[in-house]
A and B are shown apart, each in its own frame.
Chain A
Amino acid sequence: MNVNYIWYFLTFLTLVSAIMVVVVRNPIHSVLYLILTFFCISAHYVLLNAQFLAAVNVIVYAGAIMVLFLFVIMFLNLREYTAESKTNLVKLGAAVLGGVLLVIIVAALRSMQIEPLNKATYNSQVGMVESLGKVLFRDYLLPFELITVLFFVAMVGAVMLGKRETGERNF
């Protein structure tokens, strides 16, 4: 099937760029690889027919959050980051730990039972704006309101933290 090749390619690209985020030394390159990762994940959403989330993923993650990251890195002018003080032993340990964790997750999920696809009741429109809006504003209205409060608190917190007090040095 055609779509399968796209799926495998996207998965490969996502994993490689995610690994590059962690491995690359220059923070700017890291940010760019992370943007690529988010794009691939958005493409996965499109394949899963979750178009609205794909667009929101691009707007929120690639368009806002990563711009903030890039902004801070530029602002602090972090060039090649050389003072990597963690030893190789720690890195090796972390890699082994990660591998073990992956094996444990996969092994634990190996015996799970997955319901076969019910073609009669399948609704391909779940990822569309209408159905999401209905669920969001009917069933999850309280969490939605709480999220707005969270945003407000975060905004106040960020402004308070970033505010420069009198007499403080300007970088």
Chain B
Amino acid sequence: MQPTIPDVVQTIPLPYYIWFASALFVIGIVGVLTRRNAIIIFMSVEVMLNAVNLLLVAFSAYRSDPAGQVFVFFIMAVAAAEVSVGLAIIVMIYRNIQSIDIGLLNRLKG
């Protein structure tokens, strides 16, 4: 490994990464708003988390500060924990109402 600056850091301006990550984040938001399948909503949340991860790594690489990448670790760990619990809940919901359409979950109202 040569101690050189990566090409991307030299030629691609940082705002490109910000726009890219924002677009990814917005795609995730639209997914959460439009879909009713609980699993797809979960996946949209994952897209949003990854947009944040990407931005953190980009900032970390442009400023050559490892703290940003350590934060990505924590986000990944939280995402893994979230998915394990969330999917368990989805399986439970499916067992109870034979569907994972969140529109059918209005019986949670008191």
Contact = CB atoms under 8 A, between A and B. Distances in A.
B48 to A, nearest CB: 10
Interface residues of A, number: 92
Contacts of B79: 60-61, 65
A102 B30 CA distance: 11
Given A22-B31, A56-B73, A65-B79, A121 B88 contact: no
Given A27-B40, A41-B53, A53 B72 contact: yes
A86 B44 CA distance: 17
Interface of A: 1-4, 7, 11, 14-15, 18-19, 21-22, 27, 30-31, 34, 37-38, 41, 44-45, 47-50, 52-53, 56-57, 60-61, 64-65, 68-69, 72-73, 75-76, 78, 81, 83-86, 90-91, 93-95, 97-99, 101-102, 105-106, 109, 112, 114-115, 117, 119, 121-128, 131-132, 134-136, 139-140, 143, 147, 150-151, 153-155, 157-158, 161-162, 168-169, 171
Given A21-B43, A94-B34, A117 B58 contact: no
A36 B81 CA distance: 22
Contacts of A68: 83-84, 87
Contact of B29 (A47, A101, A126): A101
Interface string B71-106: 011101111111111011111101100011101000
Nearest to B76: A60
A72 B83 CA distance: 11
Contacts, number: 247
Contacts of A57: 53, 76
A121 B63 CA distance: 10
Nearest to A151: B81
Given A21-B31, A102-B23, A136 B14 contact: no
B3 interface: yes
Candidate in A11, A18, A147 with the most chain B CB atoms within 10 angstroms: A18
